[in-house]
A and B are shown apart, each in its own frame.
Chain A
């Protein structure tokens, strides 16, 4: 019988056999809750941004638990939860589809000369007001 380390259940709650000679028991299949992806909205009108996931038995509880995991600090006005199984995704092996995209700088916003025109227009409007 080992010495009692602590009566605090946080310390002693795991009663694990400490016999290195015996083979480990095969683990039972995990009965974990499914996961839900959480989307957080900081201000009214802003995009909902994916911030992580929560374990929950259903969507109602996922929303409830998401509130504390992702909405207990800073600003929040709304949350979405989506069952992870409902997220349709590309295969990781298909990342090569995007390999040449960074080269196509003509698609970048910086490639357009609109900015100068906008600046000029703003200046013109400002001049008219004053």
Chain B
């Protein structure tokens, strides 16, 4: 097994969910209605759990630092999250669109990983499949509600948020030099295959929502090489604030 390629893949997957979990959690207490506030916060908790599970695999099988250190003890340049998950929440329309595009990608990715040749990953993929199904269901219900079921204003806002999010969302599927080995060994299907499947899934949901899928955008890249948007550094400062007071503390 190409260990460097595996680490690269699992770290970028984990970092994406970790950072998005934090962004989602910023809505806690501020959600549009009480019930949705709770639901969105629960999605954020689930995401954090997925990141932790991935860091645990990296720790147990590949000798990486333990999950807390991976999540809270790394410098910005060592993070591998894409710009898409780093962007601030802005309005709820953007958060919902990001939630849909990200979770459609997670659903496709983890569904495929159930067949991974790497057993710990396949096991985790089976375990969290129901959660991801719900995350996608949650996102899709809102998008349809605010798209085809909504008002002219809500539909226009969703479309404009979608257009803004699209080039960043494509950055989720940046191929890496080691990926070919992982595809050959059946570790995962490769970013291009996942993106193709994701586009079909997203297209179907957008059609139901009377929203138009943006075309011909270049992906926003850089995060996988440690070049991040201006929004990651302040997020890390806030997210790691308590940890940095005493990294050796036991909770």
- The interface of chain A, by Cβ under 8 A from chain B, is 9-10, 13, 33, 54-58, 60-61, 64-65, 67-69, 72
Contact = CB atoms under 8 A, between A and B. Distances in A.
B39 A61 contact: no
B38 A67 contact: no
B231 interface: no
B33 A10 contact: no
Nearest to B35: A65
Interface string B9-37: 00000000000000000000110011110
Top 6 A-B residue pairs of the complex, sorted by shortest distance between their CB atoms: A68-B39, A65-B35, A64-B141, A10-B29, A68-B42, A68-B38
Interface string B162-206: 000000000000000000000000000000000000000000000
A93 B149 CA distance: 41
B39 A67 contact: yes
A55 B34 contact: yes
B141 A60 contact: yes
B99 to A, nearest CB: 13
19 contacts: A9-B30, A10-B30, A33-B33, A55-B33, A55-B35, A56-B35, A57-B145, A58-B145, A60-B141, A61-B141, A61-B142, A64-B39, A64-B137, A64-B142, A65-B39, A69-B35, A69-B38, A72-B38, A72-B42
Contacts of A72: 38, 42
B62 interface: no
Contacts of A64: 39, 137-138, 141-142
A54 B38 CA distance: 12
Interface residues of B, number: 17
B134 interface: yes
Interface of B: 29-30, 33-36, 38-39, 42, 134, 137-138, 141-142, 144-145, 149
B35 A54 contact: yes
Contacts of B36: 65
A47 to B, nearest CB: 23
Nearest to B149: A58
Contacts of B134: 67
A68 to B, nearest CB: 4
Contacts of B144: 60
Contacts of A57: 145
B145 A61 contact: yes
Contacts of A55: 33-35
A72 B130 CA distance: 13
Nearest to A65: B35
Contacts of A9: 30
Given A64-B39, A69-B35, 13 more contacts: A9-B30, A10-B29, A13-B30, A33-B33, A55-B35, A57-B145, A58-B145, A58-B149, A64-B142, A65-B39, A67-B138, A68-B38, A72-B38
A72 B39 CA distance: 9
A69 B145 CA distance: 20
Contacts of B39: 64-65, 67-69
Nearest to A9: B30
Contacts of A61: 141-142, 145
A42 B164 CA distance: 42
B93 to A, nearest CB: 16
A76 to B, nearest CB: 11
